[in-house]
Chain A
């Protein structure tokens, strides 16, 4: 239990779960976006520890580089200027009490971990510690070529549609 791998795993667990819990605790949307940034960094670390380097790099690029910027733009463009006094922080959100949040969180987590404790998982084969980049590229070109093309077209359609929806229809 004292291997450097395990120590790194524990540190990443504190980072990921702590910032996810902070997302649940805070009422400020901007703080939650920054906590989500830390969660995504921790998840990329988990992917590295699971020997999936392709996933880690693409996750970092897409989430930290793309989705988070999108969310920050969304927060900026929907700043609620409804308060009359103008003194309150406009980024605060309403929520229905913290007790229920923690209650739902821990109940679902405990029941899921109880379920996981009942199971016995077996691996198909031995762990492959090498980089998965070459294998993933070959799989994209060989057996997953049709889903790959389909996903590309889907992404194109989704981005064009999002641009059209976000346009100012006046």
Chain B
């Protein structure tokens, strides 16, 4: 049984990264943008795991597990902040945030 080449994993990771990037740039709902950030994070994580396949020290695997936990922290804090923003402004569009010069 032949193995899956490494570059296939990297292509999938590249597609997920590009999709997450364009979601961040295009969508205007903050929760949507947060989902795009998660997609990019997971694309990077997939690359780590794919490289860790040929490493007997499992460094990429351990890094990926830590990245997973940090991603959860980021997600919970960001949703709490979004909740407060919604309570104050009754709206969660990206374009509503403008600095007062």
Interface residues, chain A, with chain B CB atoms under 8 Å away: 3-6, 9, 13, 16-17, 20-21, 23-24, 29, 32-33, 36, 39-40, 43, 46-47, 49-52, 54-55, 58-59, 62-63, 66-67, 70-71, 73-75, 77-78, 80, 82, 93-97, 100-102, 104-109, 112-113, 116-117, 121-128, 132, 135-136, 139-140, 144, 147, 151, 154-155, 158-159, 161-163, 165-166, 168-169
Contacts and interface: CB of A to CB of B under 8 A. Distances in A.
A100 B86 CA distance: 28
SS of B interface (majority): helix
Contacts of B86: 77-78
A168 B87 contact: yes
Contacts of A4: 1
A96 B29 CA distance: 11
Contacts of B34: 71, 74
Contacts of A155: 69, 72-73
B97 interface: no
B77 A165 contact: yes
Contact of A154 (B16, B49, B70): B70
Contacts of B69: 62, 151, 154-155
